[in-house]
Amino acid sequence: MARRLRIGLLTGGGDCPGMNAVIRAVTKSLILQANAEVIGFEDGYEGLIEGRFRTLEYGDVSGILTRGGTILGTSNRANPFRYYRRGEADVSAEVVALYRELELDGIVAIGGDGTMTIAHGLSERGLRFVGVPKTIDNDIWGTEHTLGFDTAVHVATEAIDRLHTTAQSHHRVMICETMGRYAGWIALYAGVAAGADVILIPELPFDIEVVAEVCRERESDGRRFTIIVVAEGARPEGGAMHVHTQVPESPDPLRLGGIGYEVERQLRERLRSEVRTTVLGHVQRGGTPTPYDRNLASVFGTYAAALVQAEHYGHMVALQDGKITTVPLAAVAGRTRTVPLTAPMVGAALAVGTSLGVRAPHLPLLAPEPTAPLA
């Protein structure tokens, strides 16, 4: 009897809505299309290092399409090349040994830039990987959209809409801080969707005087409230990002957060209006995925399963020009996709009078390109 294809599956990095939908898509399609055996590793690379895994049967992944989080668990600290539980030792040889012992044909890794970078490192040691990009931050190089981004934008937009009505009633300046790490995708997309008056993103260091002027002008025009969306990675011109905490064992130890309160403090000194801040935090990462993210997960997951069957390893599934394709893990590893200032969404924000916290003459790059894709 022919040997069954045996594929590992793991979810790494910060969780996001849509991960379970990918687990379902990969597992069901590998079982149905290839009669494969699917081995799920627990808590991302930690399960691969510590030998914690379980077989995923068809029934195990039924009913999880709409569920947030990941049934396999995840970790954003477990790096086999610098393992935090063993004094930062390189334990990659143990991972290679377990992979061989389990006679795996390959692994599908669902994750962000950290997960892809590790997958690339292990590929160089002979393991075979297919990557699936997920993160609310939308900052993975080589793909226009990542799983979880649409849901995070949806959550943030609804929150800003709600702040809008209370801002209007009380004639206040309302600041909403979004996640997104070093990229401003969530703040930009949710800010434009909710009609924010000011959007501050890491890619464009802001001038607090410009932000205060926008608020003052709105006050004097009789529009007695202002909505400001600030990405957690936003920073003032000449200033630094706001680090909330550090996780030393994490591949990227900095956790950003708190810039919203700093903008509030500085605006209080400059305005008569009351100013309030809401930090959305992990709410953006939890709960059920939007239909777009569910469908993207089904397309990404089934495509990853097809790549495995075609032995097309060493690549990450990607969306480019609205089409599904692949990019080499080597090209993704160690890179971040931030918002290009030529993005149509940047142009759209400026065209309707939204301030990006800088004076217009400082923005020579902002003419939108008519042929540029949305993201």
Q: Which residues bind ligand F6P (CB under 6 A)?
A: 14, 76, 112, 135-137, 179-181, 232, 255-256, 285
Of residues 65 and 256, the one with the C-beta less far from ligand F6P: 256
Kindly tell me the burial class for residue 162, based on how many C-beta atoms sit within 10 Å of its own C-beta (0-12, 13-18, 19 or more): middle
Minimum Å distance from CB 180 to ligand F6P? 5
The CA–CA distances, whole Å, from 355 to 223, 346, 348 equal 15, 10, 11
Of residues 8 and 180, the one with the C-beta less far from ligand F6P: 180
Nearest to 75 by CA among 54, 92, 52: 52
Minimum Å distance from CB 285 to ligand F6P? 5
Tell me the residue nearest to ligand F6P as measured from the CB.
179
Neighbours of 318 (CB within 10 A): 24
Nearest to 294 by CA among 131, 33, 67, 9: 67
Annotated binding-site residues for substrate read 135-137, 172, 179-181, 232, 276, 282-285
d(CA 100, CA 175): 52
Minimum Å distance from CB 351 to ligand F6P? 28
Nearest to 131 by CA among 21, 294, 43, 8: 8
C-beta of residue 146 within 8 angstroms of C-beta of residue 30: no
Minimum Å distance from CB 132 to ligand F6P? 15
Q: Would residue 137 show up in a list of annotated catalytic residues for this protein?
A: yes
Annotated binding-site residues read 14, 77-78, 112-115, 135-137, 172, 179-181, 232, 276, 282-285
Of residues 47 and 202, the one with the C-beta less far from ligand F6P: 202
E strands in the chain: 6-11, 37-41, 53-56, 106-111, 129-133, 173-178, 198-200, 226-231, 243-246, 254-256, 275-279, 315-320, 323-328
Cα 84 to chain centroid distance, Å, stands at 23
Q: Which of 15, 137, 139, 150 is catalytic?
A: 137
C-beta of residue 136 within 8 angstroms of C-beta of residue 285: yes
Nearest to 243 by CA among 255, 251, 261, 231: 255
Minimum Å distance from CB 259 to ligand F6P? 12
Which amino acids are annotated catalytic? 137
